[in-house]
Amino acid sequence: MAGPGFSRYTRMTLRRRSHKCFGRARNRILSTNLAGSRVYSYEELLRTIARIAGLRPVLMRTPFALWDVLGGLAEMLPQPPLTRNQVELMQIDTTAAENLPGFRTLGISTRSLEDELKTILRQSKSRISPP
């Protein structure tokens, strides 16, 4: 587990230069927060995924300095599985801002992470199991 596991996650920011989707003035940049209703710490996120998958995680806190070194080494690979920029992003909270439009503005209803994980696991099991 990278760092102490306290970083919080919910947000994915969408920036568009399109007036068609949001009915805004042409060329205006609109930031939209797309996030679920629950905020997870990194540790909570890993434990939730493991619980839904029926796994018992063994989480070991690893200093960000070590992850930074690993990211730097991995960047030398043709297709790095991790970069220093990704490690840097893991160190900051990425939660939704209340003052920006989100899914509701787009007319999209959200589902819980737990429900989505169950659906994904059910679908992957049906692909693996013979008919």
Domain that holds residue 51: 8-63+92-114
Task: Tell me the DSSP string of 9-39.
Answer: E--EEEEE--HHHH-PPTT--EEEEE--S--
Query: Partners of 117 in the beta sheet?
Result: none
Q: What mean pLDDT value characterizes the chain?
A: 78
> Which residue matches tokens 């919910």?
10
Q: Is residue 12 part of a domain?
A: yes
Q: Is residue 32 part of a domain?
A: yes
Pair 61, 1: CB distance under 8 Å: yes
For 36-86, how does the pLDDT look when each residue is reduced to its tens digit (9 = 90+)? Answer: 778 888 889 899 999 999 999 999 999 999 999 999 999 999 999 999 999
Q: Is residue 43 part of a domain?
A: yes
Q: Is residue 77 part of a domain?
A: no
The pLDDT value recorded for residue 101 is 79
The pLDDT value recorded for residue 32 is 72
Q: Is residue 79 part of a domain?
A: no
What's the number of domains the chain is made of?
1
Q: Is residue 31 part of a domain?
A: yes
